Chain A
Amino acid sequence: MANEKTYLLEIVTPQKKIFSQQVQFAVFPALEGEIGVLPHHTAFLSPLACGKVKITDAEGKNSYCAVCGGFVEVGKNSVSLLAELAEFASEIDVERAKKSKTDAESLLAQAQSPAEKAAARLKHNKAITRIAVAKQAALSKIE
């Protein structure tokens, strides 16, 4: 068992299970900074921030995924990502994300109550994350 070089990574959202594969390495945006997990990591639990997940699969290929909200559970050689929102770079519509970024900015400018501001900020964060992930994926393709 100890020579296993991969572990099972699952990404699930309330809408559906979007990823379930053996991977070598993955980096998550935890609430207090990014965390990289290799096989045989100790059991660990943390909420997730908005950000990108970098996944290195069994063949050593990298893929990127945008996540927002939820938490990550590192168990016995398996990792579960329970995200409220999770999209792979290939599913991201950059044009839409850009539009929603400008929308969010104008919302943020108009927002009066703290709740409105928080909602606008969340929308802004989601949009930025999506754009960043799409960019990253495009870059890695060129390499």
Chain B
Amino acid sequence: MPTPREIKRRFVSVKNIQKITRAMEMVSSVKLKKARDQILAARPYARKLSEIAHHLQTKSLASLSPLLIARQVKTINLVVVSSDKGLCGSFSANILKKSMEFVRTHTECKVTLTILGKKACDFYGRRKNYSVINAYNDIFFKPGYERVSEIGQKLLDDYLNGAIDEVDVIYNEFKSAAVSKTMVEQLLPIKATEDEATSKIATDYLFEPGAQEVLDAILQKYFLFQIWRVVLESYAAEQGARMTAMNAATKNAGELIEKLMLIYNKARQGLITKELLEVVSGAEALK
């Protein structure tokens, strides 16, 4: 039986941990709100962009741009979006598991990796049998559009000069604070979507300088924006996952504290009883 003092020490340390997890929960709930605002702020741009992209696709310009034409796939670049920090449950583990599965199942072509987030950087840094092209371990500290579009631009250049034939992305999509979904999406070549509703309202645009140039420019912007969206989604999902994980940790710590409290009281009572017995039996012996 541990002494009451030992139990007390454990009790205090659990309580301190609980304080930390509670604080972290609150911090990530604030960050989650910010991330959500950013997603909302990006929505008008996203809506406009996809409206225009739809217009253009329905105007049978599709064959004009290399970004829309699927070619024979020899090399796939997989963008793995994880987090910079841990303590967010299975957030990064899911991504890593899915990405390894992706590499395993695509044996017919070469798979190269572009990595976002420190967790995945560390993970693939230890495994030398994957070909990592680019790794970024500091973008989630303060996600900004310019930095992210640089990453996208590199992928775009590689795609246009033929070094890669397809770009896919693995990330956690933000559903709600507690729920996120691991998604695998193809970003390049851009998949043409046949949408009846948008084709009806398609407008005849004048293009300047020319249809080809405009289409190229817009599709490139579209791709860069997709990457930005993925980063935002993932960032929000990370904060949500951390909030949930920390909430659970706080709850568990609470349960542990209750249990320890019970054991502590029992031990304390036991000690008092023991001392009393000693006193009584001592007095008895003196008679």
B282 within 8 A of A: no
Smallest Cβ distance from A120 to chain B, in angstroms?
14
Q: SS class of chain A's interface: helix, strand, loop or mixed? A: strand
Residue of A nearest to B46 (CB): A14
Chain B residues numbered 184-228 whose CB sits less than 8 Å from any CB in chain A:
203-209, 213-214, 217-218, 221, 225, 228
Contact pattern, B 149-182, Cβ under 8 Å of A = 1, otherwise 0: 1000000000000000000000000000000000
A46 contacts B49, C-beta separation under 8 Å: no
How many interface residues does chain B have, given as a range? 20 to 34
> Which parts of B41-62 form the interface with A (CB within 8 Å)?
41-42, 44-45, 48-49, 52
Bound Cα distance from A127 to B269, whole angstroms? 75
A8-B103 Cα distance, complex, nearest whole Å: 48
* Chain B residues closer than 8 Å to A31, beta-carbon distance: 208-209, 213
Q: A46-B214, A71-B217 are in contact. Are A15 and B41 (CB under 8 A)?
A: yes
Residues of B within 8 A of A76 (CB): 203
Which one of B52, B221, B225 contacts A45 once the chains associate, using CB atoms below 8 Å? Answer: B52
Tally of contact residues, A, Cβ under 8 A: 25
B145 an interface residue at 8 Å Cβ cutoff?
Answer: yes
Chain A contacts of B45 at CB under 8 A?
Answer: 12-14, 17, 82
- CB under 8 Å from chain A, chain B span 230-254: none
CB of A128, distance to nearest CB on chain B (Å):
18
By a beta-carbon cutoff of 8 Å, the part of chain B in contact with chain A is 38, 41-42, 44-45, 48-49, 52, 145, 149, 203-209, 213-214, 217-218, 221, 225, 228
Which A-B residue pairs are the 9 nearest by beta carbons?
A16-B41, A46-B208, A47-B217, A45-B205, A43-B203, A17-B44, A12-B45, A14-B145, A44-B206
